[in-house]
A and B are shown apart, each in its own frame.
Chain A
């Protein structure tokens, strides 16, 4: 039976880290051509373009700017802006565009040069402006500080420990060491994480995502192009509960991931037990811990023990963030969450080389923007 679900037919990523001489638009072009070539197509075949946003190219019509730069005139173009959920939301949006018949091939592009294109500290300062202008920013809020407050309460309520979070950082680094494009490939020990300097207590340096240059491209099509294994988007869901931390769910636990995942699993007709590999937004170690428990991969209060027992390793019960995630692969703005999608497709196609999860046929992908504010879940399945 032929699936009527959208397919991901091409993916591409740049290396992550300090990419001297690169530009935001140049990186967009690199992954645009890469993703289209991966599908066996040409840029002229693209009839939909979805971009996100960029700090170094802050034009409010980035999709138009990118189309002009690429020399294409797609029938549909738009920007999706949901922070770290942007990559997954692009794919969810592209899915409906191709399933409705409006487009045939939708190219989803994200990228930024937050490392080489911004002064030291400028990215942290720019991200602080995500806070409420009147009721958060005057208090010196930063994104790490907001997640630090979430972490403090979650540890208080569930018993998650600093040691548990350190195990997440180490596991993720071990995966990144197997990816040639990852920013951080040096070994990282549990003791090093525990001894790393405080950023926003309880969070320490290695609990926090990187700041990177990098870009990702994902081509979503109405049908497979015959290039590579058939990967379908069999489920998608979104839930946003707030934007600012002062308006987050009062218990700082009932975040949207629970509901976006529920809807994605319902569409796919699957449960967490069906998932072979998970690529889940990890802006901080606490982010991943909360999402793993809220989505239902582990009972509340148990993720720490599971991670220290190797659950997220390549041979574990739920291999997770196999490219190294935002913590060790890289985080270049909206592209940060798109790398999770790219890695899921590579795993399902059996193209993940030394980090390949054996017989991976079903992947769960999750993006989160703001302070656990905007959530998008995707379920991808290999059908051939």
Chain B
């Protein structure tokens, strides 16, 4: 779960996530190669996305921790119809719902594999894709 931080940010036409006050720490950690989650101090639920209050109990305090970086593919699509020219250059690409070992479900691309190799239930590891001056959590088959 580490990557070299590029000295100069590569230009990209792909959309960058717009961090806000609730998510800045998540994206800062992602740039350092860590997937940051938050455990609610009131009810122990793992909250994702990062936000003001826990969706399970409404608690407003949580302890951030680094996820183990493994998950399972709950479902996926092989997407051929891209929403923009930048994504069209990647098509077809896989979009999956990945259930992390810690519970939360994230959307990611499954990268560095042939689309036909992806199946429901496969285990993936979380890697980070540099995009602009940010980094996106992505999934790779193990």
Given contacts A124-B83, A199-B80, contact A132 B49 (CB under 8 A): yes
Flag the segment in A38-46, A139-147, A229-237 that touches B.
A139-147
The number of residue pairs between A and B whose CB atoms lie closer than 8 Å in the complex comes to 105
Flag the segment in A23-31, A108-116, A149-157, A351-359 that touches B.
A149-157
Considering the complex, give the chain A residue whose CB is closest to the CB of B85: A121
Flag the segment in A57-65, A245-253, A302-310, A329-337 that touches B.
A245-253
Considering the complex, give the chain B residue whose CB is closest to the CB of A204: B80
Flag the segment in B2-10, B31-39, B60-68, B103-111 that touches A.
B103-111
Considering the complex, give the chain B residue whose CB is closest to the CB of A252: B75
Which residues of B from 1 to 41 have beta carbons under 8 Å from A? 14-20, 23
What residues on A are CB-neighbors of B126 within 8 Å? none
**Distance between A319 CB and nearest chain B CB, rounded to angstroms:** 31
**Distance between B115 CB and nearest chain A CB, rounded to angstroms:** 8
- Cβ of A125 under 8 Å from chain B: yes
Whether the pair B78, A128 counts as a contact (CB closer than 8 A) is: no
**Distance between A226 CB and nearest chain B CB, rounded to angstroms:** 49
Selected contact of B49 from candidates A135, A140, A156, A201, CB within 8 Å? A135
Bound CA span A134–B20, Å:
9
Q: How large is the interface on A (under 10, 10 to 19, 20 to 34, 35 or more residues)?
A: 20 to 34
Whether the pair A138, B79 counts as a contact (CB closer than 8 A) is: no
- Cβ of B97 under 8 Å from chain A: yes
Whether the pair A153, B75 counts as a contact (CB closer than 8 A) is: yes
- Cβ of B136 under 8 Å from chain A: yes
Bound CA span A144–B23, Å:
27
What residues on A are CB-neighbors of B109 within 8 Å? 139-140
- Cβ of A87 under 8 Å from chain B: no
Whether the pair B17, A134 counts as a contact (CB closer than 8 A) is: yes
Given contacts A140-B93, A141-B95, A245-B107, contact A197 B75 (CB under 8 A): no
Given contacts A135-B17, A141-B95, contact A246 B107 (CB under 8 A): yes
Whether the pair A153, B105 counts as a contact (CB closer than 8 A) is: no
What residues on B are CB-neighbors of A134 within 8 Å? 17-20, 23, 49
Selected contact of A200 from candidates B81, B90, B131, CB within 8 Å? B81
- Cβ of A293 under 8 Å from chain B: no
- Cβ of B77 under 8 Å from chain A: yes
Whether the pair B120, A152 counts as a contact (CB closer than 8 A) is: yes
- Cβ of A133 under 8 Å from chain B: yes
Bound CA span A141–B87, Å:
10
What residues on A are CB-neighbors of B93 within 8 Å? 140
What residues on A are CB-neighbors of B54 within 8 Å? none
Selected contact of A133 from candidates B17, B75, B92, B131, CB within 8 Å? B17
Bound CA span A140–B108, Å:
9
Whether the pair A141, B80 counts as a contact (CB closer than 8 A) is: no
Whether the pair B107, A124 counts as a contact (CB closer than 8 A) is: no
Considering the complex, give the chain A residue whose CB is closest to the CB of B136: A138
What residues on B are CB-neighbors of A149 within 8 Å? 75-77, 95-97
- Cβ of A48 under 8 Å from chain B: no
What residues on A are CB-neighbors of B81 within 8 Å? 124, 142, 144-145, 199-200
Given contacts A135-B17, A149-B77, A246-B97, contact A125 B84 (CB under 8 A): yes
Q: Please give me the 9 A-B residue pairs with the lowest Cβ-Cβ distance, nearest first.
A: A148-B77, A128-B83, A153-B75, A201-B78, A134-B17, A140-B87, A145-B79, A149-B75, A200-B77
Residues of B within 8 A of A (CB): 14-20, 23, 49, 74-84, 87, 90, 92-93, 95-97, 105-109, 120, 131, 136
A–B pairs, 14, beta carbons within 8 Å:
A125-B84, A128-B83, A134-B19, A138-B15, A140-B109, A149-B77, A152-B75, A197-B80, A198-B92, A200-B78, A201-B78, A202-B77, A203-B77, A246-B105
